[in-house]
Structure 1
């Protein structure tokens, strides 16, 4: 064992120290590189955080509007009882499309007699500008239904689907009706 230590002592090469004029310049370039990497990481983190906050605002706007419609529906209140409450946001799913103009959302609902999952598709009213990021969004719900599970005795367990789309009026498409009017006017003139 003493022999191994003696041999390893001689196998080690002495460390060389570099003394040149480039050492301070390397320190400055490493410092600049670290600052650049830090800036990029902070920027990306901020962008991800803003996107998450925007998605949370979209979810809150759509789900609040949907819960208003659910509270007005007697068949849902009869099935799972009152009050019908929205489940936690982290159990929801959200998909946005068309430059954040349309959304598809699914979230849990519950009442004293049962639970369910509410699904909706909605489109956003208004323009998409930089300032609209800070304003609350107004959503038109196009399709909405719920899948409810009402537990009971072994014979009385029920799973039912209730469509709320029938009670919703479709949003008026001003651009479509305007273009159709122009086409009809042109046809009448000919």
Structure 2
């Protein structure tokens, strides 16, 4: 008698428990898909932001390297060619909806090494159509801090201000200032 009732107990328990896991499995499946989609979107957003930062770094650092390699003081201090260091040794800070940039990256030459520091701004719209286009940053501040090794007497750290419109002090002709007379003297 026990044998006859035993299979009926299994059928009852299996049919009651079969309907419950199907509903739970459907809700778990929907939950897993929602979490997977959210993680995928988050990862994609972070990746796009990183690519945008890398494009900003590349644009600003290329412009800064162009100016630094043309500056005679930099070339005299560390030699030619002036080479940009690896991107992973750089620091980049963006602000004001990616319109303001502060960047520091390493440079080197045959006679020494150092860092270039820049601050730049850009103008323009922030629409999605311009997300992947190159941005024209205007460099406001660009200076180089260089370390030139040598023996103890010639070792030196040099800070050089690099600017477009201001000639370097070493290439500026020395002229006397015109004398100004004060009102009390004649």
- Which residue number corresponds to residue 131 of structure 1? 129
Contact 1:115 1:150 in 2 (8 A): yes
Match among 96, 102, 106 for residue 100 of structure 2 = 102
83 and 135 in structure 1: CA distance in 2 versus 1, 3 angstrom threshold: same
Mean Cα deviation higher: 156-165 or 55-64:
156-165
Count of residue correspondences: 153
Q: Does 1:149 align with 2:147?
A: yes
- Which residue number corresponds to residue 188 of structure 1? none
- Aligned equivalents of 1:126 and 1:64: distance in 2? 20
Question: What is the TM-score of this pair, normalised by structure 1?
Answer: 0.77
- Aligned equivalents of 2:128 and 2:71: distance in 1? 36
- Aligned equivalents of 2:165 and 2:69: distance in 1? 14
- Aligned equivalents of 2:113 and 2:90: distance in 1? 14
What does the per-residue CA deviation read over 1:58-97, in whole Å, with 9 as the maximum and x for residues that have no partner?
0000000001111110000000000001000000000001
Deviation at 1:129, TM superposition (A): 1.7
- Aligned equivalents of 1:36 and 1:129: distance in 2? 29
- Aligned equivalents of 1:94 and 1:129: distance in 2? 22
- Aligned equivalents of 2:160 and 2:127: distance in 1? 36
What does the per-residue CA deviation read over 1:26-60, in whole Å, with 9 as the maximum and x for residues that have no partner?
01101111111100110000000000000000000
- Which residue number corresponds to residue 109 of structure 2? 111
- Aligned equivalents of 2:136 and 2:39: distance in 1? 34
- Which residue number corresponds to residue 38 of structure 1? 36
Mean Cα deviation higher: 51-60 or 130-139:
130-139
- Which residue number corresponds to residue 179 of structure 2? none
Deviation at 1:20, TM superposition (A): 5.1
CA RMSD of aligned residues (A): 1.6
Gaps of 5+ in 2: 1-12, 167-186
